Structure 1
Amino acid sequence: MTALSEGSDAGVGGREPLPPDRIKHLEFIQATITRMGTNSFLVKGWALTLAAGLLALSASRMSWHLAAVGVLPLLCFWYLDCFFLRQERAFRRLYDDARRPGSTVEPLSMNVASYLGAMPWREVWVTPTLLLFYSPLLLADLALVVLAF
């Protein structure tokens, strides 16, 4: 008989299946990872909408004041997106540790403090996805400040 035909107790690759509480824990972690990704997407949408609106308004009036006002919210959105990305990465590491057989992760624990300590803000702040999204918006805003001044 093959491993697949031995019954539902046989795990993938001959490994023991995970207990139900461990599977539920992984589902909780995955739901949190999904929520962090969704939050990041929403922050990018709000940042783009606000930046485009302020850039259009300040360009039509050639007002460096309006363009300068747009820098602060853009930096705040960048920080918030960085926060969600950092949290998502920490939960991914928790997931990786919790899925391993013989894991020492406390059952149903969602504490990621130890993972956040190993992940500096600077490392997350300058990830290519965040840089490619926020830096052109910030540069356009700063260019408009200089041109309108």
Structure 2
Amino acid sequence: MTDTPNKHKHLEFIQASINRMSGNLFLLKGWSITLIAALFALAAKDTNKAYILIAYFPLFIFWALDGYFLSQERRFRALYEHVRKLREEDIDFSMETGSFRTDPRTNWMAAIRSRTLTIYYAGLAVVMLALAPFIR
């Protein structure tokens, strides 16, 4: 086995970026639930259904942000795979992911339409619709 300290270090840098993007995805989901629940609580407290309509705005904003971070995570995963296959002497420690934009999976719109985000945010929208009639 050859000694590949540069490759290992570069892969660690990329993995740290992947972990950061994953953490952002997790935080956005938590904030979306918190904010939407707070708006529903205000709607119930003040008997003002306008808060329910306002709750859809952050839903779509968080969905778009989640899609952005997921597309970035996918680009870093593609970079990881690229670097993993490089020879030690070809390692340049580049963190540039622009060359992976042409991959359909790393596209922002593809990420927004991903199965996990669609199930989560569309499911949240359905729950909001189902709860709206109970707000008096």
**Which bin holds the TM-score, normalised by the shorter protein?**
0.7 to 0.9
Residue 108 (structure 1) aligns with: 93
Q: How does 1:22-101 map to 2 (within 5 A)?
A: 22-101=7-86
Cα offset for 1:58?
A: 1.9
1:133 equivalent in alignment to 2:126:
no
How far does residue 144 in structure 1 lie from its aligned partner after superposition? 5.6
Greater displacement, 135-144 / 64-73: 135-144
CA contact (8 A) 2:7 2:91 kept: no
Alignment match, 1:124: 111
Q: Show structure 1 runs of 5+ residues with no match.
A: 1-10
Large movers: runs of 4+ above 3 Å? 59-62, 101-106, 140-148
Q: Is the 8 A contact 2:6 2:91 kept in 1?
A: no
Decide whether the 8 Å contact of 1:22 with 1:107 is kept in 2: no
Structure 2 residues without counterparts, runs of 5 or longer = none
Deviations 1:17-48 (A, max 9, x none): 42x12211110000000010011100100001
Deviation of 1:57 (Å):
2.7
More helix by share: 2
- The answer to whether the Cα contact below 8 Å between 2:15 and 2:80 also exists between their aligned partners in 1 is yes
The percentage of aligned residue pairs carrying the same residue is 39
**In the superposition, relative to structure 1, how do residues 55 and 100 fare at CA in structure 2: closer, same or farther (>3 Å)?**
same
The 2-side partners of 1:105 and 1:59 are apart by 61
What is the TM-score normalised by the length of structure 1? Answer: 0.77
TM-aligned CA deviation for residue 68 of structure 1: 0.9
TM-score (norm 2): 0.84
**Higher CA-based Rg:** 1
Q: Tell whether the 8 Å contact from 2:79 to 2:100 is kept in structure 1 after alignment.
A: yes
- Counterpart Cα distance in 1 of 2:45 and 2:124: 17
Cα 1:147–1:103 change in 2 (3 A) is: farther
